[in-house]
Amino acid sequence: MTAVLTTEKTTVDGVAIEITYANEADARVSEDEVRAYLKRGYEKFPHGKIESLTLDVEGEDVGIHYGLAPVQFDRIRRITGYLVGTLDRFNDGKRAEERDRVKHAVPTCCC
């Protein structure tokens, strides 16, 4: 067998698909197979959004790599005894208390 790397790029259901074949004789991946790999990804990452799928085909072996969208999160801080994400529900006194806090620096090395 001659090693010839070929790559196919497509989009299925809004997901960028890249399939790399290691050998010329490798069986081509069908769209139904791609959908099966996507279904597997949705089951494996139920709370993630799959943006890309990379398949590395070499003979009967297939390497599967999912590219997930970054997850946004809200920062939760403990301020004056309350767990909060934002200060929008604080009154002026609590906002001033947070603003006037002493913020301590973390040393970068030991002496």
- The residues with which 53 forms a beta bridge, in sequence order, are 17, 66
Among 54, 48, 49, 47, which residue's Cα sits nearest to residue 17? 54
Which of 42-56, 62-76, 92-106 shows the lowest mean pLDDT across its residues? 92-106
- Report how far Cα 48 is from the mean position of its chain's Cα atoms: 7
Alpha carbons 43 and 27: distance in angstroms, whole number: 25
Greater model confidence, 111 or 17: 17
What is the pairing mode between strands 15-23 and 50-58? parallel
Band of residue 2 on the pLDDT scale cut at 50, 70, 90? low
Band of residue 46 on the pLDDT scale cut at 50, 70, 90? very high
pLDDT value for 15: 95
Band of residue 76 on the pLDDT scale cut at 50, 70, 90? confident
SS3 61: strand
Give the pLDDT mean for 69-81: 76
Do residues 6 and 21 make contact, with C-beta atoms less than 8 angstroms apart? yes
Which of 3-12, 48-57, 71-80 shows the lowest mean pLDDT across its residues? 71-80
Do residues 27 and 37 make contact, with C-beta atoms less than 8 angstroms apart? no
Residue for token pair 């809200």: 74
